[in-house]
Amino acid sequence: MDYVSQLKSLPKRHDFFVGIDSDGCVFDSMEIKHKECFCPAFIKHFGLQAASKYAREIWDFVNLYSRDRGCNRFLAAQKSLKLAGEREVFAERGLNVVGIPSLDAWLKEETKLGNPTLAAKVKATNDPALAKILEWSKEVNTRIEEMVFGVPPFPWVVKSLEKIRAAADVIVVSQTPVEALVREWQEHKIDPLVNFIAGQEAGTKTEHIRYATTGRYTAEKILMIGDAHGDLKAAKGNGALFFPIVPGKEELSWKRFFEEGADRFFAGTFAGGYQEELSQEFDAALPEKAPWQK
């Protein structure tokens, strides 16, 4: 399915546009996905059992508690392997953790970072390291399908979606596979509240917004809502505004958006001091360095 073409041809019904991340932003699903699905499979497929405590510490930091929170899974694996290679405790336990050059090269050349494009690369190259990454990613998807259900949207999300869709075109902007996104949004019957659901198959979050908005919306009428610096980057990459759902303060963030953020966006008073205040609080919640690096 050509998701990019669909994004580019979305009908414009309003003058305002809002992109919303899903995992950790709309749904409180980041913890369960990473701690019960991604990380156990990461330890298994990369042979990190002898230092599982530290491997989990690294994975959780990268994906939940740092500025890399919410990044694509393959970038997360690359970052986690790099951090593990820098920690002496892995070598002390007999583990030689090194990066994967073929993964590094693929991440530079490909923007649609998902299983389909990786599978095509594995088929074309027969690269065993990439094949291992693909098997890990497939197992993650299986674990998520089996484990992640019954996780409703955060309080104030539905009210906020109902409020903004009356005056804005709204899409999901995510690096999760679209199949999982659709399943989760349909499970809680909130998929009718958005115009489109974009996953990793349609490219980066920056590209999602660009495909959907170029030539149709002015920058001051484009807003990204997210819980990670990748969401902020996507907004900045399109000259758009950004409302953060602060990790650990998700309910308060959504309440604030419903009560004041949405109104400011539509009234044209979001940019400037209000945006800066939000950004400072967001930056403080997600550090660059891990505790063991300080």
Give residue 294's pLDDT. 72
Look at residue 207 and tell me if it is in a domain.
Answer: yes
Instruction: Verify that 219 and 111 share a domain, yes or no.
Output: no
Per the CB < 8 A criterion, the answer to whether 168 and 17 are in contact is yes
Instruction: Verify that 184 and 259 share a domain, yes or no.
Output: yes
For the chain, the average pLDDT equals 96
pLDDT tens, residue by residue, 115-139: 999 999 999 999 999 999 999 999 9
Instruction: Verify that 185 and 248 share a domain, yes or no.
Output: yes
Give residue 1's pLDDT. 73
Look at residue 118 and tell me if it is in a domain.
Answer: yes
Give residue 108's pLDDT. 96
Give residue 139's pLDDT. 98
Look at residue 121 and tell me if it is in a domain.
Answer: yes
Per the CB < 8 A criterion, the answer to whether 115 and 137 are in contact is yes
Instruction: Verify that 48 and 106 share a domain, yes or no.
Output: yes
Q: What CA–CA distances, in Å, run from 144 to 29, 140, 180, 186, 221?
A: 10, 6, 8, 16, 35
Q: Which of 147, 163, 193 is the last residue of a domain?
A: 147
Look at residue 290 and tell me if it is in a domain.
Answer: no
Q: How many domains are there within the chain?
A: 2
Give residue 78's pLDDT. 98
Q: Which domain holds residue 44?
A: 30-147
pLDDT tens, residue by residue, 187-234: 999 999 999 999 989 999 999 999 999 999 999 999 999 999 999 999
Give residue 273's pLDDT. 96
pLDDT tens, residue by residue, 41-69: 999 999 999 999 999 999 999 999 999 99
Q: Is the pLDDT of residue 87 over 90?
A: yes
Give residue 36's pLDDT. 97
Give residue 239's pLDDT. 97
Mean pLDDT over 257-278 rounds to 97
Quickly tell me which residue has 């050349």 as its tokens. 109
Cα–Cα distance between 15 and 222 in angstroms, integer?
9
Give residue 198's pLDDT. 96
Look at residue 292 and tell me if it is in a domain.
Answer: no
Instruction: Verify that 57 and 129 share a domain, yes or no.
Output: yes
Instruction: Verify that 162 and 280 share a domain, yes or no.
Output: yes
pTM for the full predicted model:
0.84
Task: Read off φ and ψ for residue 182, nearest 5 degrees.
Answer: -60, -40
- Give me the percent of the chain exceeding a pLDDT of 70: 100
Q: What's the token pair of residue 236?
A: 């900045």
Q: Which of 124, 147, 170 is the last residue of a domain?
A: 147
Q: Is the pLDDT of residue 254 over 90?
A: yes
Give residue 111's pLDDT. 86
Q: What's the token pair of residue 143?
A: 């674990």
